[in-house]
Structure 1
């Protein structure tokens, strides 16, 4: 799948304010995407990131102009009080900043609070959302999202949902960025080595991956699991129950997970839902083929005959068949170069250009409407 080429044009300097309306772990995909976009756009624009609270791990903030609001702003207080507190705190920060040209919120609460902050300051600034979960995750917050002047979609599926729910808004497809510069290929393993990289949470269905490998335990393979989460202990126990303990290597959370990968055959993903599928692109950028559930929305937009295999969600027999086919050579591995080229259009430079154009279009549209 190729992204449409954008006409190069000269953009005016924008003063962009990002509003992050959840407290970040510092280890997630949102931090990665925000950091990449920030550093690329910062080359041309002025950017401030306003965090709702302190990140559990603030290493990702290095080199980023962040402002952290009060820890008193939390989801345990009534919604109307939350919005009043949050909008007041945002307005208090923004009044001391250069006038914003556009505000980008990573969530519904931030959208509503930002529009209220703008009204408090009596200024006209468009507010857009940049959601990192599928739209059905926000079904209780549709009215808050309706306050936005536009929405940035990270997948084609998310764009379809946004156009369905908010057809009157400017909805723009921007995807999420991946760093390609100076990224080396990962060596192909001399024997089958499969990877799982990510949170060990229920939605990721790592238990299904273990069960799919169970019928193949007499084969010679390794399963490397990089990540941590609330299912870690139960997954370790399940691997023992399935007789896979000698096949599985547990790495826990790693600050630079791909530095841990010496060689690999394929990455495996079994999620119930993936709004984008960043880990798939990170693997493919390193020349690693991928195997994924065909969940909504990202995987089906990323994976094709040139870079991996899709299986139907919860169909463990189909997943086992693919794994066995890869091990036995019935399913030849795509060349590393083909894997990388299949996702080159997601490189941060290309995505930043889409991002920049989308913001400019929304800002221009709002300026026209205000005349």
Structure 2
């Protein structure tokens, strides 16, 4: 079965929010907005009520509807957003941030303008909190097509109230550029970072410090309505000399260097960003149960937990740390426990789910509760190298600069005993990118097949691709192949290629990307896939699922021969259950004047084509697909091994060795069984083949 697919590569995303200022939600919106914009998406933040406190990043489009919050109802919000849509255009997706009511507003606005778009909820606090505050409820969430939940608690609440909901777990991102690495914990000093507001319940912390037997200090970084009351409480408890109020700071985590732990006592949290950032620094977290750190804090491993409002138990934890009764916590363990919140991981995970949703696709394998860990796939790029010092840097640079991000790529280079500066270049790149580039050195020259097989042994990524070392790729090739593989899960995804001899092309994918997906349900499907892909028999320009290759060990590169990629490619065509082809020129093929296909040894290499093809036919017989693909195999051999090879050799060299010609002719007769009634042959080809078969 062949399906035609159209994907929106650069969707327009609206982020709809009722009110906003400077805080954790706003920081998450800015980080997500910048990331989406960097991926080519158009991002519009629409704030329904704006009172002059500008908080959005300057790179993100900011729009507001009303300049005062007085006397507005839900219908006003609906009318305001609908007017905006009619004036500024329809998004592919609207993310309703924070309030459940925003999903209802987005839906009713879409009805009013008579345009459909995807609506997603993105709650930042427990559903019950929004309900009690009058900001919406479960009935409003029913209008969302998809839900992005920043905690298991939020995801579970949505699942209970809306059983049919499509829910993805997403983590709030941590901006690692803000983090100050802590290698040694401070001495009896607590750190609090956040708004000084009633729900943060900071009085509990002050009271615990006051009754603890050990003498603790507290650094409070933040500002808010509760500041004066907290200062007064510290005086009443006679600990004001041990409590420092810093105020709001652009760089709050510089104070982590002095601290023993971050402390929290919140009445409620959606996702405790301060706790995640503290762990990323290497700082343990002391927190109560309602702070919602129980999803990331393991008691006495990366922090300590105490019951809500239990001043005595918090004080006992402080004393236990001070006198060594509690286990010492490793800063390295803290950092590792927060790894999945690193913005490099969380934002890409969020982006993939947004991209899929905006294209109307559902990533079933990533639904909550099936999967709560972020999407963090890697692509292994295998590059065999042999005397390519003139072109190698261009190839490597094109991979390093991929828009998918170097954190999602590992580059496996295999040097096949080069005699020029190829190995030196590889080792220099490995030194500069030790986390991403691996250099494998073969002990003796073995050829590209053995080099690629050696590279495959080192691959750790979920996906694998191959690049020839004198070629290069467009900056978005890997990202587009990967997104296509995720949205429409297939064993192999390929793209088109473009040849060049001088300057490297610079094409990028357009907003509308068209592709064809092949789902193999019967022999007719296999025949169609094979005949439509067999004439580009290279392995490059394709993304292979690693588990597909592992399940089919016959897919490998024959060694001590050329044309090894043809065997690998055809075995993949013979075993794949699904295949996708994108109409996008992402691979750049260099017309190397000294390449194999341009050397005077071409006659020998083309005989390798015969030997490799013969090996392939034997493999197809083992796979029990030879008979069903009989006509396809015969026709492809005729076109690649007879027509193209003989004509090429006759034009370029004096003669084609007669003994080689006879080998090809006899095998051609065998494949066709002496019968030219092949559905792919035209009448002139049939006449020519009859003459060839009748030759004496």
TM-score when normalising by structure 2: 0.47
Alignment of structure 1 residues 48-127 onto 2, 5 Å: 48-54=44-50, 56-72=52-68, 74=69, 76-80=71-75, 82-95=76-89, 99-106=90-97, 107-127=99-119
Q: Which residue of the partner structure matches residue 227 of structure 1?
A: 222
Q: Equivalents in 1 of 2:359, 2:61: separation in Å?
A: 26
Q: Tell me the SS of whatever aligns to 1:200.
A: coil
SS in 1 for 2:353: helix
- Counterparts of residues 99-248 of structure 1 (less than 5 Å): 99-106=90-97, 107-139=99-131, 140=134, 141-142=136-137, 143-181=139-177, 183-186=179-182, 188=184, 190-216=186-212, 219-248=214-243
Tell which has more relative contact order, 1 or 2 (C-alpha 8 A, sep 6+): 1
* Alpha-carbon offset, residue 260 of structure 1: 4.6
**Is the 2:282–2:332 contact (alpha carbons within 8 Å) kept by the matching residues of 1?**
yes
Work out whether residues 193 and 266 of structure 1, in 8 Å CA contact, stay in contact via their aligned partners in 2: yes
User: Which whole-Å CA distance do the structure 2 matches of 1:312 and 1:169 have between them?
Assistant: 32
Between 1:165-174 and 1:85-94, the stretch displaced more is 85-94
Conservation of the 8 A alpha-carbon contact between 2:180 and 2:256: no
- Superposed CA offset, 1:67-125 (max 9, x none): 232315x3623443x23433334324432xxx421110112332222222222332210
Question: Distance in 2 between the 1:127 and 1:256 partners?
Answer: 35
Is residue 177–residue 347 contact of structure 1 (8 Å, CA) maintained in 2?
yes
Deviates more, 1:358-367 or 1:42-51: 358-367
Where 2:286 maps in the other structure, the secondary structure is strand
The 1:183–1:255 alpha-carbon spacing in structure 2 relative to 1, beyond 3 Å, is: closer
Q: What residue is the counterpart of 1:5 in the other structure?
A: none
* Offset at residue 330 of structure 1 (A): 2.0
Aligned counterpart for 1:18 among listed residues 12, 15, 38: 15
1:41 aligned onto 2:36: yes
Take 1:356 and 1:94, find their aligned partners in 2: how far apart are those partners?
A: 23
How far residue 358 of structure 1 moved from its aligned partner, in angstroms, is 2.5
- C-alpha change, 1:155 and 1:359, in structure 2 (3 Å) is same
Mean CA deviation greater in 323-332 or 59-68: 59-68
Q: Deviations over 1:213-240 (max 9, x none)?
A: 1112x63431111112222111111111
Q: Deviations over 1:128-180 (max 9, x none)?
A: 11111111123352222222212110001110001011112212111211122
Query: Conserved in 1, the CA contact under 8 Å of 2:174 and 2:341?
Result: yes
Against the structure 1 CA distance between its residues 220 and 84, is the aligned structure 2 distance closer, same or farther, given a 3 Å change threshold? closer
SS in structure 1 at match of 2:190: strand
CA distance in 2, matches of 1:274, 1:245: 27
C-alpha separation between the residues in 2 aligned to 1:134 and 1:75? 26
Match of 1:7 in 2: none
Tell whether the 8 Å contact from 1:16 to 1:45 is kept in structure 2 after alignment: no
Give the Cα separation in 2 of the matches to 1:186 and 1:55: 39
* Structure 1 unaligned blocks of 5 or more: 1-9
For 1:34 and 1:51, the matched residues in 2 are separated by 12
Residues 336-362 of structure 1 deviation map (CA, whole Å, 9 limit, x = unaligned): 111111101111121123212322443
Q: C-alpha separation between the residues in 2 aligned to 1:116 and 1:200?
A: 36
For residues 207 and 226 of structure 2, the distance between their equivalents in structure 1, rounded to whole angstroms, comes to 15
Distance apart, 1:317 and its partner CA: 1.3
**Counterparts of 1:303-314 in structure 2 under 5 Å?**
303-304=297-298, 305-314=300-309
**1:194 CA drift (Å):** 0.6
Alignment RMSD: 2.4
Residue of structure 2 equivalent to 1:346: 341
SS class of match (1:63): coil
Residue equivalent to 2:506: none
Matching of residue 282 in structure 1 with residue 272 in structure 2:
no
Report the Cα offset of residue 366 of structure 1. 7.1
Please point out which of 310, 315, 320 is paired with 1:320. Answer: 315
The farther-off stretch of 30-39 and 140-149 is: 140-149
After superposition, the Cα gap between the structure-2 partners of 1:258 and 1:60, relative to the gap in structure 1 and judged at 3 Å, is farther
- The aligned length equals 349
Contact persistence 1:188–1:264 (CA under 8 A):
no
How far apart are 1:279 and its partner, in Å? 0.4
Alpha-carbon distance between aligned partners in 1 of 2:9 and 2:266, rounded to the nearest angstrom = 40
Q: Distance in 1 between matches of 2:227 and 2:178?
A: 32
If you compute each CA radius of gyration, which structure gives the higher value, 1 or 2?
2
Report how far residue 55 of structure 1 moved.
Answer: 6.2
Cα distance in 2, alignment partners of residues 233 and 219 from structure 1: 26
1:356 matched to 2:348: no
Give distance in 1, aligned partners of 2:54 and 2:77: 25
Which residue number corresponds to residue 293 of structure 1?
288
Note the C-alpha offset of 1:190. Answer: 4.8
Look up the SS of the partner of 1:199 in the other structure. Answer: coil
When normalised by structure 1's length, the TM-score is 0.86
* Distance in 1 of aligned mates of 2:240 and 2:161: 47
| 2: CA distance, partners of 1:204 / 1:41 | 31
Segment of structure 1 superposing worse, 127-136 or 247-256: 247-256
